[in-house]
Amino acid sequence: MLTRRSLLRTASALAAGSALPGLAFAQTGPLRLEITEGVIEPLPFAIPSFIARNGGAADAAADITRVVAADLRGTGLFRQIPESSHISTVTSFDAPIQYNDWRAINAQALIIGEVEESGGRLTVRFRLFDVFSGQPLGEGLQFVGAREGWRRMAHNVADQVYERITGEGGYFDTRVVFIHEEGPKNARLKRIALMDYDGANVQFLTDSRNLVLAPRFSPTGDRIIYTSYESGQPRVYMMDVANLTPRPLEAISSGNMTFSPRFTPDGGSVVFSMEQGGNSDIYRVSVSGGSRVQLTNAPSIETAPSFSPDGSQMVFESDRSGGQQIYVMPAGGGEPRRISQGTGRYGTPVWSPRGDYIAFTKQEAGRFHIGVMRTNGSEERLLTASFLDEGPTWAPNGRVLMFTRETAGADGAPAVYSVDISGRNLQRVATPGMASDPSWSPRLS
Amino acid sequence: MTLRFRASALLLSAALALSACAQGNLSNDGAGGIGGPGGIGSASDPTSIAFFNQSIGDRVLFAVDQSTLSSEAQSILAAQAQWLLSNGEYLALVEGHADEQGTREYNLALGARRASAVRDYLVSQGVPASRLSTVSYGKERPLEICSNEACYSQNRRAVTVVSAGAGV
Amino acid sequence: MRRSLYASTAIHAALLLWVAIGDAFSRDTVTPEFQVTGVTIMSTAEFEAMTAGVEPTPVAIETAPAPRPQPAPEPEPEPAPEPEPEPEPEPPQPQPEPEPPTPPAEVTDTIAPPAPPSGAPDLPPDDRPTARPADRVAPLPAPAPEEDVEIAPEVVQDLTEPAPAETVTEAEPETAPEEATTEIVTEAETPSGGPLGPAASVRPTARPNRPDPVETAAEAPTPTPTPDPAPAATPDPTPEPAADPLADAIASAVAEAVSEPAPPAQPSGPPLSNAARDGFRVAVSSCWNVGSLSTEAQGTTVVVGFDMDRGGRPVEGSLNLVSYDGGSQSAAQQAYEAARRAILRCGANGYGLPAESYDHWRQVELIFNPEGMRLR
């Protein structure tokens, strides 16, 4: 991977930058060596069961430990060392850490916690240690909340651990809105549902009377926008998560289909597709009403708009070249620039919340892929392959994607999967039944 | 209630007919109850909906990703237009559909394109635009459920759903 | 009484966090999950102070968790919230609405293992030696170990002797490098360099079983051959044989960049051989895990300095971040921590450097450059 040019560049930088305190052959000063090869493997961690400070906290302590461990394991970046292998038993939250015991079982990170229950409220404390350097990683933290909120407290502990070790924002205290599906393939019933990112706490936001598609969270996570056939036509509706009352995005003359909505990064507007006379273009309208602004104007299909996090650019798909491809244009209007360059068809582009990548669906040679590319279309990387994968959504840290995977045939069924943007750690997300069209919320805390 | 699927139901097994009925119900929900309470009549009655569905043909098929009308499709639509012109009390809703080999939102747009192509053709044959409307179901309402071209070709369709409406 | 022991900084932190997140919590009422009400930052010292008047006895240097010296990260005194008597401020909470019954936790709280992609044809048996999905990515591919071979944290090797090109392997306690590929193989791709594979790529349905590493970590170094046979590096009078491409490149770059001759100091003992240097490098590499780093940290080069004792073990307290390049300070901190773990973990039993050359490796600076590891 390392080219000779980059080697030379490094060497020059070394020579110029450090006034030669001693390169490999210099006879004074430290021995200097460059390490360019490493390993990529899950980091082993130990999480002894959190201590229950009193009897009322026993269940919560066990549950919280389990969820923290599951969160970390689920990233694929961490490997849990089973408690049966532990040498040290942690009996007190404040007892000195027996680092050598943890080194002996190759635990590189150690999570110690305790839970206290009082009057229906839980106090959760934890500390994280870097075992091999014998130091805490960051300060201890304490979360206080109602007992029913134990899952969120556990997710917050895991978010902290994840952040401190990886330097990346955590994504465990998040939710996912998705479509729950029931019934045979030619008579599907669909409902909008909400769950924690790990599949817990499923709630249904709509019943199955009206066909509903592709719900998406607002940037603050308090609203959902989606497409419903409530009026007979596909039409964009918005719903406050707090009161679950749907309302149409705007009054549109009958006969026009609106679909594929997504919030702008400030949450103040929605971009969506509207069809007129068979032609679909992209429009923008303020959530508080007002006139809509047409952003694309072409006789081809323009849909699946998504904004860059700074709001300056919009990515979307269009078949103006003959097949679905991905284009970027200035948010205020201007000439779209095609960025997808490979063979096959590209759709459902979604800009990463970090701004560095665009995730997409690619269709080629009878198979579907989820992939990522740089925002100029370079460095395309396909992460998955199956009969039908589509519709990626980003975790708030821009490192993990969820998407829909549907199996083939008369019994074909959709499910939600997640995958790391490196292509590793492909997993099915537990849902109560068939599920599709996930949309990841921002961090709740 | 199961207007547009009756024709195929007659040809299919009982099991398939059942699911087709279920689909018809759903579809009518989605389409806002078009189809109405009236019966579809007897296929031997040339003014009946049953005759339209079975003898004229209520649907046309499309090639992959296409919304252009084949010559076969055009002759079916010409007959549909004739029927609509001579049965002026009926409205028609054109449903556009796609096969499952595409992303959801693109397929919605594609279904709309197909429905619109049919609607435009019927208008060109003299059917008043005020009697026609369109809706797209994308890949949400497959008629056939296998995952190969035999099914896909049947699912890439536009279905003209007629209902007694005018004069109501 | 606990309240009185809380440092005021903790209260400040709680207040700040409350201001920052309280709104988010109070905004939603759909699940009871939203009732997390406050976060208090406590230092280790504060925690210790809380323990019923009993001071934890610091036993040994590594057993008493001491807070890292930090330039006062706590918020400075703010007059207004200071007298606030409530240690755990709660944001106003709307009452949760009656909930639809939540499903039983056991079906919903885990992410299931990947299901085999259905519809994918079974792949024909394939004997090509190409990269394949594995849980570990390492510089050199390693086959899945035999069932009862212990997995060592590193490939143990003895660097005291220059490694002859052919060493007879001692058959004794074998360790095998953990199974690894040289690159990440996604579901969508064929390993680079390989011929085009079938359209489907079937992932393993579960992670490969691995022997538990528990027994191996305390193991003593066992002589095994070095992975790359180095040219028989007898002590060489010329300071730098031209065999090492890195050193070569550095040498030529330095020749360009510097005109003054190397300082004339003369440490005692023979200089470190190429083989010993390579072995040292490989040993650290095998513990340098960049997989859990942020993408920014994976783009940050850090220089870590430390001292070694005569046994070739890093002196724990001596590790320090000398400099960094290519990322923010926080990314550099994560990168430094990963490098520190690598140095300490693989050096726990000594790096096996030749004692007669101690002056040449008493102090070390390692440059951890992850450029080649990104998105491997």
What are B82-114's pLDDT values in tens digits? 999 999 999 999 999 999 999 999 999 999 999
Decide if B139 is inside a domain.
yes
- Dihedral pair phi/psi, residue C192, rounded to 5°: -60, 145
Could you report the per-residue pLDDT of C35-66, keeping only the tens digit for each? 333 344 444 444 444 433 333 333 222 333 33
Asked if A118 has any chain C CB less than 8 Å from its own CB, the reply is: no
Contact B142, B98 (CB under 8 A): no
CA–CA gap between residue A225 and residue A237 (Å, rounded): 6
Q: Best interface-test mutation with B: which of A209, A213, A233 has the largest number of B CBs within 10 A?
A: A233
pLDDT of residue B8: 40
- Strand A140-146 relative to strand A109-118: parallel, antiparallel, unpaired? unpaired
DSSP per position, C274-323: HHHHHHHHHHHHTT-B-TTS-TTGGG-EEEEEEEB-TTSPBPGGG-EEEE
The CATH number covering residue B112 comes to 3.30.1330.60
Residue of C nearest to A44 (CA): C213
**Interchain CB distance below 8 Å, B22 and A323:** no
Which pLDDT score is estimated for C172? 40
Work out the minimum CA distance from C365 to partner chain A, whole angstroms. Answer: 5
- The answer to whether position B79 is within a domain reads yes
Cβ neighbours of C249 in A, within 8 Å? 4, 7-8, 11
Please state, in angstroms and rounded to a whole number, the distance separating the CA atoms of residues C26 and C23: 5
Query: Residue A61: what pLDDT?
Result: 97
* CB contact at 8 A, C354 and C160: yes
Contact status, residue A349 vs residue A360, Cβ threshold 8 Å = yes
CA distances from A375 to A152, A307, C52, C74 (A): 34, 11, 56, 38
Nearest to C366, CA basis, from A30, A152, B17: A30
Give dist(CA A418, CA A403) in Å, integer.
6
In a domain, B6, yes or no: no
Q: Determine, yes or no, domain membership for B4.
A: no
Percent of chain B clearing pLDDT 70 (strictly above): 76
Residue found by looking up tokens 């030379």 in the block: A8
Amino acid at C128: R
pLDDT for C373 beyond 70: yes
pLDDT in tens, C124-134: 444 444 444 55
CB A422 within 8 A of CB C375: yes
CB neighbours of residue C278 within 10 Å = 21
C-beta atoms of A152 and C246 within 8 A:
no
Report for A214-218, B27-31, C249-253: range of highest mean pLDDT: A214-218
CA distances from A381 to A309, A324, C190 (A): 21, 18, 12
Where on the phi/psi map is residue A105: left (φ > 0), alpha (ψ -120 to 50), or beta?
alpha
Q: Where is A337: in which H helix or E strand?
A: strand A337-338
Q: CA-CA distance, A359 to A348, in Å (whole number)?
A: 8
Amino acid C372: pLDDT: 82
Residue B138 has a pLDDT of 97
Q: What SS3 state is found at C139?
A: coil
Task: Round to whole Å and give the CA distance between C11 and C46.
Answer: 12
Q: What pLDDT does residue C91 have?
A: 39
Question: pLDDT for C15-31, tens place per residue?
Answer: 344 434 433 333 333 34
Scanning the structure block, which residue is given the tokens 């964009």? A236
Per-residue tens of pLDDT for chain A, all 445 residues:
433 344 334 433 433 333 334 344 444 689 999 999 998 899 999 999 999 999 999 999 999 999 999 999 999 999 999 999 999 899 899 999 999 999 999 999 999 999 999 999 999 999 999 999 999 999 999 999 999 999 999 999 999 999 999 988 999 999 999 999 999 999 999 999 999 999 999 999 999 999 999 999 999 999 999 999 999 999 999 999 888 888 888 755 555 899 999 999 999 999 999 999 999 999 999 988 778 899 999 999 999 999 999 999 999 999 999 999 999 999 988 899 999 998 999 999 999 999 999 999 999 999 999 999 999 999 999 999 999 999 999 999 999 999 999 999 999 999 999 999 989 999 999 999 999 999 999 999 8
Chains in touch with C (≥3 Cβ pairs < 8 A): A
Q: Give residue B42's pLDDT.
A: 83
Residues of B in contact with A412 (CB under 8 A): 100, 145, 147
Give the pLDDT confidence score for residue A248 in this predicted structure: 84
Encoding tokens for residue C318? 């001596």
Structure tokens, A224? 């959902």
Name the residue type at position A134: G
| Residue A17 structure tokens | 């930058």
Q: Does B67 touch chain A (CB under 8 A)?
A: yes
Query: What's the structural domain count of chain B?
Result: 1
Distance CA A339, CA A177 (A): 29
User: First-to-last CA distance in chain B?
Assistant: 18
Percent helix, percent strand, percent coil in chain C, to nearest 5? 25, 10, 65
CB nearest A445 (choices: C24, C340, C345): C24
Q: Is residue B76 part of a domain?
A: yes
**Does B7 reside within a domain?**
no
Q: Do A203 and C99 touch (CB under 8 A)?
A: yes
Task: Read off the pLDDT band of C158 (50, 70, 90).
Answer: very low
Q: Tell me if B157 sits within 8 A of B59, measured CB to CB.
A: yes
Q: What pLDDT was estimated at residue A247?
A: 84
Minimal-distance CA residue of chain A relative to B133: A255
* Per-residue pLDDT at C228 exceeds 50: no
A301/C239: higher pLDDT: A301
- Which position has the higher pLDDT, B9 or C357? C357
Of the two residues C341 and A16, the one the predictor is more confident about is C341
Domain range for B82: 29-164
Asked whether residue B129 is assigned to any structural domain, the reply reads yes
Q: Which residue, among B93, B76, B85, has the nearest Cα to B135 in the 3D structure?
A: B93
End-to-end CA distance of chain A: 39
Q: What are phi and psi of C151, to 5 degrees?
A: -95, 125
Strand ranges (DSSP E) for chain B?
A: 59-61, 90-97, 132-138, 157-164
Within 13 A of A435's CA, how many CA atoms are on the CB side? 25
Listed in sequence order, the DSSP H helices in A123-274 are: 150-166
The answer to whether B1 faces chain A, any CB pair under 8 Å, is: no
Cross-chain residue pair C371–A200, CB shorter than 8 Å: no
Spatial CA neighbour of C227 closest among C269, C280, C184, C272: C280
Interface test with C, best of A39, A75, A97 (most C CBs within 10 A): A39
Please list, in sequence order, all residues whose beta carbon lies within 8 angstroms of the beta carbon of residue C89, skipping any fewer than 6 positions away.
C14, C15, C18, C22, C37, C38
The pTM of this model reads 0.73
Distance CA(A438)–CA(A404), nearest Å, equals 7
In a domain, B100, yes or no: yes
Q: How many residues belong to chain C?
A: 376
Tell me the average pLDDT across B120-138.
Answer: 96
| DSSP line for A15-83 | HHHS--S--TT-SSS-EEEEE---BB-PEEEE-PPPEESSGGGHHHHHHHHHHHHHHHHHTSSEEEPPG
Can you name the residues that pair with A440 across neighbouring β-strands?
A176
| Buried/exposed code over A213-245 (b: 16+ C-beta within 10 A; e: otherwise) | bbbbbbbbbbbbbbbbbbebbbbbbbbbbeebe
For position A290, what pLDDT does the model report?
A: 79
Averaged pLDDT score across all residues of chain B: 81
